[in-house]
């Protein structure tokens, strides 16, 4: 079980490592747990489900209880596997109550895990529909009459999961692209702006001269050729934007010298001037809304499969 906790501080417009006391990132391949492990996992599901992310206040006690339980599980049973609810919790803990832009790279990896749940859920829904057809045909011949088949409502829901998988994937990739753009914008004026080269290599591996390291981001692993090409296009867009900013900085510096402004004055005014000249590529609150919508869709799929077929449907 991989767990990371981070403390947060926020600036009023663009939170950095935000006010959330704890961010848990548990990205794991989820399999059937032994009975002896199931009780704490059930407790973890209950705790993560009890957090009201719609509440503007921060439930420090609730988050602390989750952190303590995850820490105890990780130390006592490192091979234990977290429930999907912990992954969904980790995503929302970055999004709410205020979006921690500094943790967008973490959010990208969490979304990759969530998309793996989505793809697996759609795959299993398709398998179940195949078995549904087999048993329905068999029962028409008087065989397997002891097997309960899906109701029409259940079958429609599973067919909907399968039918929407292409649209959900496009939604996921669009969210990745949007988060990458917003993070580059944030990082330009962030205290950790020195990470820009590393992060650009994470987003667009091999594109930064002098950096020959693999990306630390999981989403690259299963991009289709078309999706990978769209990220190369995004790289070009980001490069053009950064060139514009560098050109603006040079002109601004020259203007300051002409006006006799001190270096301290120019540095103090930089962030305000930057945000006036270059507004964010996306409204952070709108992006939070769209990410949460996607997370809710996948969580609904996972919950339905678990409710109907039990914990074994967790297997990824």
Domain ranges, ordered by start, for the chain:
82-309
| 162 vs 168: CA distance, rounded Å | 10
Flag the least confident range among 11-15, 35-39, 50-54, 249-253.
11-15
* Per-residue pLDDT, 206: 85
Instruction: Please write the tens of the pLDDT for every residue from 226-241.
Output: 999 999 999 999 999 9
Instruction: Please write the tens of the pLDDT for every residue from 288-315.
Output: 999 999 999 999 999 999 888 876 544 3
Rounded mean pLDDT, 201-216? 87
Q: What is the mean pLDDT of the chain?
A: 85
| 91 vs 292: CA distance, rounded Å | 8
Q: Is the pTM of this model over 0.95?
A: no
- Written as six digits, the tokens of 204 are 């667009």
Confidence of residue 244 (pLDDT cuts 50, 70, 90): very high
* Per-residue pLDDT, 185: 98
Quick one: three-class SS letters along the chain? CCCCCCCCCCCCCCCCCCCCCCCCCCCCCCCCCCHHHHHHHHHHHHHHHHCCCCCCCCCHHHHHHHHHHHHHHHHHCCCCCCCHHHHHHHHHHHHCCCCCHHHHHHHHHHHHHHHHHHHHHHHHHHHHHHHHHHHHHHHHCCCCCCCCCCCHHHHHHHHHHHHCHHHHHHHHHHHHHHHHHHHHHHHHCCCCHHHHHHHHHHHCCCCCCCCCCCCCCHHHHHCCHHHHHHHHHHHHHHHHHHHHHHHHHHHHHHHHHHCCCCHHHHHHHHHHHHHHHCCCCCCHHHHHHHHHHHHHHHHHHHHHHHHHHCHHHHCC
* Per-residue pLDDT, 66: 86
Rounded mean pLDDT, 28-35? 34
What b/e sequence results for 50-76 when a residue is b if at least 16 CB atoms lie within 10 Å of its CB, and e otherwise? Answer: ebeeeeeebbeeebebbbebbeebeee
Rounded mean pLDDT, 103-120? 96
Flag the least confident range among 17-21, 82-86, 176-180, 292-296.
17-21
Q: Given a cut of 70, is residue 29 above it in pLDDT?
A: no
* Per-residue pLDDT, 209: 79
Q: Given a cut of 50, is residue 316 above it in pLDDT?
A: no
Flag the least confident range among 38-47, 89-98, 258-267.
38-47
In the chain, what percentage of residues exceed pLDDT 70? 83
Cβ atoms < 10 Å from Cβ of 79: 10
Confidence of residue 79 (pLDDT cuts 50, 70, 90): low
Residue whose pair of structure tokens reads 């753009």 in the numeric block: 181
Give residues with Cβ within 8 angstroms of 129, minimum separation 6: 155, 158, 159, 162
């Amino acid at each position: 079980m991989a767990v990371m906790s981070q403390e947060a501080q926020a600036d009023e417009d663009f939170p950095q490592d935000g006010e959330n006391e704890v961010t848990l990132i548990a990205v794991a391949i989820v399999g059937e747990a032994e009975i002896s492990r199931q009780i704490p996992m059930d407790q973890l599901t209950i705790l993560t489900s009890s957090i009201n992310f719609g509440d503007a206040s921060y439930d420090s006690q609730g988050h602390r209880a989750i952190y303590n339980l995850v820490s105890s599980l990780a130390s006592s049973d490192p091979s234990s596997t977290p429930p999907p609810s912990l992954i969904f919790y980790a995503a929302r803990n970055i999004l709410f109550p205020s979006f921690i832009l500094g943790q967008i790279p973490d959010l990208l990896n969490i979304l990759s895990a969530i998309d793996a749940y989505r793809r697996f859920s759609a795959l299993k829904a398709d398998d179940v529909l195949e078995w549904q057809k087999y048993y329905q045909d068999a029962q028409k011949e008087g065989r397997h009459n002891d097997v309960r088949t899906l109701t029409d409502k259940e079958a429609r829901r599973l067919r909907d999961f399968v039918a929407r998988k292409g649209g959900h994937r496009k939604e996921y990739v669009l969210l990745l692209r949007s988060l990458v753009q917003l993070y580059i914008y944030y990082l330009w004026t962030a205290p950790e702006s020195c990470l820009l080269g590393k992060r650009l290599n994470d987003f667009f591996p091999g594109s930064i001269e002098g950096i020959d390291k693999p990306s630390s981001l999981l989403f690259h692993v299963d991009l289709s050729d078309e999706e990978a090409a769209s990220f190369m296009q995004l790289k070009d867009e980001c490069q053009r934007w950064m060139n514009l900013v560098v050109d603006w900085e040079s002109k601004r510096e020259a203007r300051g010298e002409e006006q006799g402004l001190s270096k301290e004055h120019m540095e103090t005014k930089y962030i305000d001037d930057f945000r006036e000249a270059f507004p964010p590529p996306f409204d952070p609150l709108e992006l939070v809304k769209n990410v949460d919508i996607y997370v809710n869709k996948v969580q609904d799929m996972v919950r339905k499969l678990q409710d109907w077929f039990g914990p074994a449907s967790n297997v990824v």
